[in-house]
Amino acid sequence: MLQIQSLQAGYGALPVLHGIEMSVGRNEAVAIVGPNGAGKTTLVRTLCGLVKPMAGRVLKDGVALTDLPAHRRAERGIAVVLENRNLFVELTVRDNLRLAESAGRKASGGSLRFSLDEVLTLFPAVKERYHSSVGLLSGGQQQMVAIARALLLQPDLLILDELTTGLAPKIVKEILGVLNNLRTQGMAILLVEQSITIAAEMTDRAYVLSVGKVAQEIRRGEWQAVLADDSLIKAYLHG
Amino acid sequence: MNKLRRSLLLLLLVLAWALAPLLLSRHLIDLFVFAGLFTIGGLGVGLLLGQCGIVNLAQALFYGIGAYSSAYVTVQLGLPSLTGFLAGMLASALIAIAVGWPVLRLTGFFLALATLALSLIGNVLFFEWDWLTGGTLGIGGIPKLSIFGFAFDTPERVYYLVWPIAILVLLLADNLVRGRPGLAMRAMRDAAPAAEVLGVDMHRLKTAMFVICAMLGSLAGSLFAHYVSYISVQSFTVERSIAFLLIPVVAGSASVWGIIAGALFVTFIPELLSGFGDIHQVLFGLALVLVVTLLPDGLIGGADRLAQLLKRRMA
């Protein structure tokens, strides 16, 4: 579904990512793990079109996205929950979702389609605060709004950047429950996480990013071994 | 009850507006006409500032294009006044697209400076292109506005024309802001990256709003030219652009209807202070500083807070 080939990207003339090679298959959940400064967020921003690549290609279903601006990528079935949620805090939950809903009508995403009611059913806490300003919501509720908003874009690939940072364990559990549910329904997920435990719980395989390069790939079925042997964690993830 | 009270208040306002020309002096009617013109021109700047977070200091350019188009079309070409309005708005829209498309890729201070530069360039061109604008001499003898044979040849008649136009454009703007474009604009202002990944074509939206702003500026300029009958470069300087920007700043930038309050402020306060002689501009500056520091949400935000306070006290 998603292929990243020899991707180089950065800010100004300074490259942050160096020749990244990755792929995410249909109905697959893949994690990108790595320490702070590894280039995870730059990778996400490049995938969604906010950072222009210096070299390499990004393909979705065989079609190059590299020159496509950010606002056109949602139409191709890619939805992103950016780091720090990036919500419109002065708008209500309703308006945040309404904006995504109208953008989602143009999407040529996958077989999964989400109505507003369905999304609100997934997140009862969002439904309760439907008419509140997003700025008045707790961190966990805001994260739920961010995911709900992404789902209304009718994606077949959901990219989530630092989803669980700063959230209470109970909220993390609730959100991961929803994502697991989506996964079983066939949604492809690219999860950018600092917590290797959450990455292992949520995904089939992972790429370990270090100093802008793929340092290692954790293949399907290797998670147990990785968690049992802490050498990789010590080498790349600083414990 | 609330609805009834609001309807009564609205009725009183309409009555006061309708009766004002019968009771006010010629000078005050003039000022109200100018406030109406500034409402139209200031609305464009307000939409850009309040909804998109863009500081536009180029409105005097489009105000001038509207005024000179109307003057040229009616005085030099002898065509009907509505043709001048259309020519001005069309020229403004085309220039806004041509200039806005590259310039609106900038953000923040750089964009504000770029619009300031546009205003300065416009003023220089108005000065230099005397074959079109009359240069320093300006263009005189601009006929009073006439629509389908009805001449708006008295201040009262212009008053009754300008304000319904102002209300109409405010209603249209209010509708725009409440719809999907308004949501997209506020999204772009609050969290631009998120708006982009949600499918908002920010550059196109900004350009569209810049075009609307320019057309409103042009409309106000055309009305101005027909009202005063004589125009010159002095009316389209950077100071005029700053005055247009002050309208939404004073009103509370996100408020569409508050533009009226902002326009009344920038029209009437300098006039009230003019009695103090040379110092009146300093006093106007002081008044602005007071409004901006004491009422960070502008006059409308201040009025809202006062209303809430009174409500709490009365409860």
Residues present in chain B in total:
315
Indicate whether A25 pLDDT > 80: yes
Residue among B190, B195, B198 whose CB faces A89 most closely:
B190
Let me know if residue B20 belongs to a domain.
Answer: no
**Cα of A232 to nearest chain B Cα, Å:** 33
Residue B78 lies in a domain: yes
Q: Does the model's ipTM exceed the 0.85 cut?
A: no
- pLDDT at residue B22 is higher than 90: yes
Is B257 inside a domain boundary? no
d(CA B60, CA B95): 13
| Residue B129 backbone phi and psi in degrees, to 5 | -85, 65
Segment A72-89 mean pLDDT? 87
Q: What is the mean pLDDT of residues B9-19?
A: 94
Domain membership of residue B303 (yes or no) is no
Beta strands in chain A (DSSP E): 2-11, 14-24, 29-33, 53-60, 63-64, 78-81, 157-161, 188-193, 205-210, 213-218
Please tell me what DSSP assigns to residue A220.
T
Q: Is residue B138 part of a domain?
A: yes
The answer, yes or no, to whether residue B24 has pLDDT greater than 60, is: yes
B201 phi, psi to nearest 5 deg? -85, 90
**Neighboring chain B residues of A79 at a CB cutoff of 8 Å:** 197
pLDDT given for residue A239 in this prediction: 42
Residue that wins the pLDDT comparison between B245 and A113: B245
Give every CB contact of residue B156 below 8 A, 6+ residues apart in sequence: B21, B29
The SS3 assignment for A153 reads coil
pLDDT band at B98 (very low <50, low <70, confident <90, very high): very high
Using the Cβ of A205 and the Cβ atoms of chain B, whether some distance falls under 8 Å is answered with no
A-chain residue closest to B190, CA distance: A88
Residue B115 in this model has a pLDDT that exceeds 90: yes
Q: What is the pLDDT of residue A238?
A: 54
Domain that holds residue B108: 26-237
Distance CA A147, CA A143 (A): 6
Residue B158: what pLDDT?
97
pLDDT of the residue at A51: 93
pLDDT bucket at A108, cuts 50 / 70 / 90? low
pLDDT higher than threshold 80 for residue A145: yes
For chain B, what is the domain count? 1
Which is nearest to B48 in space by CA: B90, B89, B100? B100
Q: Judge: B193–A70 Cβ closer than 8 Å, yes or no.
A: yes
For residue A36, pLDDT beyond 90: no
From CA A53, how far away is CA B217, in angstroms rounded? 40
> B214: pLDDT confidence band, cut at 50, 70 and 90?
very high
For the segment B188-195, the average pLDDT, to the nearest whole number, is 89
Tens-digit pLDDT profile for residues A131-140: 999 999 998 9
Residue A57 has φ and ψ, to the nearest 5°, of -140, 150
Annotation: CATH topology of A26-47+69-236: Rossmann fold (3.40.50)
Mean pLDDT value across residues B264-273 = 93
Q: Does A110 touch chain B (CB under 8 A)?
A: no
| pLDDT one-digit tens code per residue, A188-197 | 999 998 888 8
Confidence of residue B11 (pLDDT cuts 50, 70, 90): very high
Q: Which of A133, A138, A195, A136 is nearest to A168 (CA)?
A: A138
> Which residues from A are below 8 Å from B183, CB to CB?
91, 95, 98-99
Cα(B134)–Cα(A168) distance, integer angstroms: 70
* B3-21 mean pLDDT: 92
Separation CA A53–CA A92 (nearest Å): 34
pLDDT at B287 over 90: no
Distance of CA A195 to the CA centre of its chain: 14
CB contact under 8 A, A74 and B197: yes
SS3 content of chain A, % helix, strand, coil (to 5): 40, 25, 35
Provide the CA A83 distance to its chain's centre, in angstroms: 9
* Tokens 């009359």 -> residue: B134
Residue of B nearest to A100 (CA): B198
Chain A hits for B180, CB-CB cut-off 8 Å, are 98-99, 102
Interchain pair A88, B199: CB under 8 A: no
How far A38 CA sits from the closest chain B CA (Å)?
21
Please report the residues numbered 42 through 81 in chain A whose beta carbons come closer than 8 angstroms to any beta carbon of chain B. 45, 48-50, 69-75, 79-80
Q: Is B45 within a domain? A: yes
* Closest residue in chain B to residue A101, using alpha carbons only: B198
Where do the domains of chain A lie?
26-47+69-236
Residues B166 and B259 sit within 8 Å (Cβ to Cβ): no
Chain B residues whose CB is inside 8 A of the A190 CB are none
Q: How far apart are CA A16 and CA B110, in angstroms?
A: 26
Q: Is the pLDDT of residue A11 over 60?
A: yes
Is the pLDDT assigned to residue A130 strictly greater than 60? yes
Beta bridge partners of A214: A209
Q: How confident is the model at residue B1 (pLDDT cuts 50, 70, 90)?
A: low
Name the 3-class secondary structure at A85.
Answer: coil
| Cβ pair B180:A102 closer than 8 A | yes
A151–chain B Cβ distance below 8 A for any pair: no
Which amino acid makes up residue B306?
A: L
Three-state secondary structure call for residue A112? coil
The predicted-structure confidence for B124-173, as pLDDT tens digits, reads as follows 999 999 999 999 899 999 999 999 889 999 999 999 999 999 999 999 99
Instruction: For B204, name the nearest residue in chain A, comparing CA atoms only.
Output: A71
Interchain CB distance below 8 Å, B199 and A71: yes
User: According to the model, what pLDDT value does residue A75 have?
Assistant: 85
Residue B149 sits at the chain A interface (C-beta within 8 Å):
no
Q: Per-residue pLDDT averaged across A64-80, rounded?
A: 89
